[in-house]
Chains A and B, each alone.
Chain A
């Protein structure tokens, strides 16, 4: 799962081995070809990664050609992994894929949103979706599927757990080390209003009067905004919320 532990070797269109064509791999490739998506398939047995790169929007962004990932891109991904936070995310994912006992309740997947080249000119955001894809008949995880997509994420990396059966999205909070319901991390109407008014340059006192609440309440709301968006200042909060399309 974690990039450095596996070698990216297979980049050829139509993986052919001695026995002929591996139908399982070719079908995945067919899916990415028609749907124009980019995905990596991790094989935990042979420690190899198969790359299917068909998303045209990623070609320009990452400077790669159709169906290949250049060494620099792999380097970029490695730097992502070296970020302390994403490294921890991968550990969590690995743990839940391999260690958990209940084999049949695997109707969930993870997603990680992060910013590449932060601060640089060619900054862009990616979203990784990681699925426990194929189990062998002795019920061991053999293949993990990982989607690459462009996203509009800003700020710190974010790990989400999507439970398909319960139709639930949970977000990992680093402070408590647990997954909580996403609704609890989404800004509510008052918080958005406070952010918008702050963005328009209104003073705390004035906002509190306009929203008919004591100043203490307003400060509490601001703190909760900081917690939810994982930011440190109101300016950062405005930037992040605006980029995420919250207001």
Chain B
């Protein structure tokens, strides 16, 4: 089965590409899909090529479709809304709300030069044919550039074992800056602010071993109020409400 779409029915020529003739534009599109295809096959990974403007899939690799259980025809019939329709409703709302948070960050860094080292990392739940959900870990790169403008993105996908609400990161590779969406603060925050400091890790480890606040302060030679302050910070950073919850969370995430 061949999952290549007939892209030209949906993708009208972008107004910024007026310098291309219709024929050149069609060639450009098919060439881009071809490139995405051989790349994905050679990497042995699931890939998707989407239009950045409206998130319409141009090409979805066989593995994804097989895992989800749809047929090529079903995709073609519903090409424009396919991805929206199979996304978990909660995740869809989550991504829709994200847009306003992404905008300021993109404005802060947002020149065309920036697009080159940008990677959007997210997890998302997709509904299978049999109404079960599968979760994918996705890396999305702006790929095709014409006139300095990004038109299509390549999404590299990996199936995850767990099924959890969606997460979202923005990663600027050049500066090694990563923004993480914090569900507690309801905004994108720098990774450093979410990562635990060494002293916080030490305290968390003591708590996990069942040492009392008083003893921790003696062992680390700091005031008991400082310990309390750090504990609060740990809970804030891990977006949990109690220390046992924090320990459990940290264990699951392999932090301690």
- B-contacting residues of A (Cβ < 8 Å)? 14, 20-21, 23-24, 26-27, 30-31, 33-35, 37, 104, 106-109, 111, 129, 131-135, 137, 139, 145, 147, 162, 164-165, 167
Contacts and interface: CB of A to CB of B under 8 A. Distances in A.
B194 to A, nearest CB: 19
Interface residues of B, number: 34
Nearest to B153: A27
The secondary structure that dominates the A interface is: mixed
A216 to B, nearest CB: 42
A33 B173 contact: yes
A23 B118 CA distance: 11
Contacts of B143: 27
Contact of B141 (A27, A107, A134): A27
A27 B145 contact: yes
26 contacts: A14-B116, A14-B117, A21-B116, A23-B115, A23-B116, A24-B145, A27-B141, A27-B145, A30-B141, A31-B156, A34-B139, A35-B43, A35-B156, A37-B43, A104-B30, A107-B37, A107-B38, A109-B41, A131-B38, A131-B42, A133-B38, A133-B39, A134-B35, A137-B28, A164-B38, A164-B41
Given A109-B41, A162-B41, A26 B27 contact: no
Interface of B: 2, 24, 27-28, 30-31, 34-35, 37-39, 41-43, 62, 112-113, 115-119, 121, 139, 141-143, 145, 148, 154, 156, 171, 173-174
Contact of A34 (B27, B28, B119, B145): B119
A203 to B, nearest CB: 42
Contacts of A27: 116, 141-143, 145
Contacts of B115: 23
Given A23-B145, A27-B116, 12 more contacts: A14-B116, A20-B113, A23-B112, A23-B116, A24-B145, A30-B116, A31-B156, A37-B43, A129-B42, A131-B39, A131-B42, A135-B31
A137 B24 contact: yes
Candidate in A24, A104, A135, A137 with the most chain B CB atoms within 10 angstroms: A137
Contacts of B156: 31, 34-35
Contacts of B35: 133-134
Nearest to B31: A135
Given A23-B148, A109-B38, A164-B41, A34 B173 contact: yes
B42 A109 contact: yes
A59 B141 CA distance: 25
Contacts of B174: 14
Nearest to B156: A35
A109 B171 CA distance: 31
A21 B145 CA distance: 12
A109 to B, nearest CB: 5
A139 B34 CA distance: 13
A35 B139 contact: yes
B171 A108 contact: no
A27 B116 CA distance: 6
B117 to A, nearest CB: 6
Nearest to B21: A137
Contacts of B24: 137
Contacts of B28: 137
Nearest to B27: A137
Given A35-B43, A109-B41, A162-B42, A26 B171 contact: no
B42 to A, nearest CB: 5
A147 B39 CA distance: 10
Contacts of A165: 2
A35 B141 CA distance: 11
B118 to A, nearest CB: 8
Contacts of A145: 39
A20 B112 CA distance: 11
Contacts of B41: 109, 162, 164
